[in-house]
Amino acid sequence: MAKKPASANEAAAPKADPRTRAVEALMALVAERGWAEVELADVALKADMPLSVLRDLFPSKGAMLAGFGRMLDKAVLDNANPDLVGEPAHERVFDLVMRRIDAMAPYKPALVEIRRAMRRDPLAAAALNQSALNSWRYLLGSVGIPVEDALGMLKIQGAVLVFARTADTWLDDTDESMAQTMATLDRELKRGGRVLGMAEDVRRLAAPFRSLAEAICERAPRMRRRERAEGASDDTVTAV
């Protein structure tokens, strides 16, 4: 029997790349069954690919979840808001977090299930935190927040915590206006700003002591080398 020709719409619609198909399949299955009930073979079948191909793409469901995070990052990074250039950092990060939540919205049922599973698996939650650190390094950079300075790691981890607490509220927020979600975000950003401000004050106050410590550390090897040189000179004189 001859194969039925594809319709014009089917022919025109581009097929998602394999990684995206796998991630989308995982999220759809988790929404239906829960995290623990989804097997890798189920994902491969849903994504319409051999299990061997899925193995080449992702070593585990956790890796697919990290891939989901990268998909969200791309959606946010590709749709930056130029109107916020020059606005205070609070406003820029507020907009950034809400844009990422908007990108997550179609997957909310799956994310509710994943949150439930992660609360029972601290090791998996820790692995997700590392993936989140990588995400927020780029996301903060996209809105002009420096992350390579002395407080960069504190900013990145702080952003991860702010987002996690905001997303936790969002997952339970049934109001279309997301008033509770935005209130949580505003509160967490203000709290994070205070912590960052205190850290900056400590860093500034400690600067003279760091300079002194660096000078001592640099001087100590020179003194040891000079003492060894003087000792060698004395040994030579004694031998003569």
pTM for the model? 0.76
Q: Looking at 27-36, 171-180, 211-220, which range is the least confident one?
A: 211-220
Per-residue pLDDT band for 181 (boundaries 50, 70, 90) equals very high
> Does the pLDDT of residue 151 top 70, yes or no?
yes
Q: Can you tell me the distance from the alpha carbon of 217 to that of 211, in angstroms, rounded to the nearest whole number?
A: 10
112, 32 contact by CB (below 8 A)? no
Per-residue pLDDT band for 81 (boundaries 50, 70, 90) equals confident
**Which 8-state DSSP code applies to residue 175?**
-
Residue 11 token pair: 């022919």
pLDDT by residue (tens digit) across 127-146? Answer: 888 889 999 999 999 999 99
CATH architecture of 60-201: Orthogonal Bundle (1.10)
* Stretch 67-89: mean pLDDT: 91
Mean of per-residue pLDDT scores for the chain: 83
